[in-house]
Amino acid sequence: MLIALCSVKGSPGVTTVTLALAAHWPDAENTRRLVAEVDPSGGDIAMRLGLPLTPGLATFAAAARRARDAAVVWEHTQTLASGARVLVAPPGDMHARAALHTLAGAPEGALLAAAAREPEVVVLADCGRVDPGSPAEAIARRAALLLLVTGTGIEALAHSAARLQDLARWAPRSGLLLTGDGYPTSDVERELGVPAIGRIPHDPAATAILNGRRPRRLRDRGGGLARATSALARTLAATPPAAGAVPPGRTPDGRAAVDATTDHRGLHIQPPAPVATHAPPRQPQPARKDGPT
């Protein structure tokens, strides 16, 4: 399964969520998990985790010019502490964009998607910010699932609202994933006219561990980030790659996960009604909190 994660404004934590999903994917022992850093603005994972830049996206793109077998992607990955593999992108937009354009023009340009179709494989593609014309769009459009990750401040929501209809057409299923503090989830859903598949809480300690900025300690287990991404990963893993009913389950915010063709409250972003982006959601009450506790 190929799952693409992207944003349209700011830095709502796409890379952190991608790494967390790979770390908490269900049945990890029997699943080949790959984090593919295909952000056109350049990679962060190698710098954060102290990994070499090669092998990575640049070497994979060069190999893809002559490769026919999707298995070649694994030759250009490195191992994360979670046991997942990672395809790191070079820092800087010039080199990252060049690699992505090379991949798109390769004879077998869909090698990453082909690898994701193998049994017991999940590829989590960090597409970064998908501006119009982004070279990561070709990869996102081949995804079985597309997650639009957004913060819940007024600026982030306004930009997300402007792109919802466009992004909803990129993949068979797509979902709105909220991150951090801000307006309550119910207010965001009402104003945007679409449901959210879940919300990832602000968890600085877990984020620092995941990004290699502090060592893991025994007491660090089971924080809000881990619980939320574990629940989200279970929902995504249970989603069929093609049209059909989603098995019974619940999204991280407690609603049933249902198929997009029968009910708009599931994983799919339905093209929303025109959104009055000039009218922000109500200011949340200080005592109210969203996301897993």
- 104-159 confidence digits (pLDDT tens): 887 666 899 999 999 999 999 999 999 988 999 999 999 999 999 999 999 999 99
pLDDT value of position 191: 87
- 74-105 confidence digits (pLDDT tens): 999 999 999 999 999 999 999 999 999 998 88
Q: Under a CB-based contact definition with an 8 Å cutoff, are residues 85 and 76 in contact?
A: no
Rg (CA), the chain: 18
Q: What's CA 78's distance to the chain center, in Å?
A: 19
Distance between CA atoms of 269 and 252, rounded to whole angstroms? 16
Q: Under a CB-based contact definition with an 8 Å cutoff, are residues 225 and 200 in contact?
A: yes
pLDDT value of position 100: 95
pLDDT value of position 214: 55
Find, among 49, 282, 270, the residue nearest to 185 by Cα. 282
Distance between CA atoms of 13 and 10, rounded to whole angstroms? 9
pLDDT value of position 276: 36
Q: Under a CB-based contact definition with an 8 Å cutoff, are residues 182 and 272 in contact?
A: no
Residues 6 or more apart whose CB falls under 8 angstroms from that of 41 comprise 93, 96, 128, 129
pLDDT value of position 105: 80
Tell whether the torsion through CA atoms of 154, 159, 162 and 167 is positive or negative.
Answer: negative
Q: To which residue do tokens 């972003």 refer?
A: 269
Distance between CA atoms of 162 and 130, rounded to whole angstroms? 13
Return the structure tokens found at 155.
Answer: 């600026």
Find, among 8, 37, 293, the residue nearest to 150 by Cα. 8
User: 69: which DSSP letter?
Assistant: -
- Indicate yes or no: pTM above 0.85: no
pLDDT value of position 120: 96
* Low-confidence residues in the chain, pLDDT < 50: 218-220, 242-281, 283-289, 291-293
The partner residues of 123 in beta bridges, in order of sequence, read: 2, 34
pLDDT value of position 222: 53
The partner residues of 158 in beta bridges, in order of sequence, read: none
Distance between CA atoms of 235 and 134, rounded to whole angstroms? 28
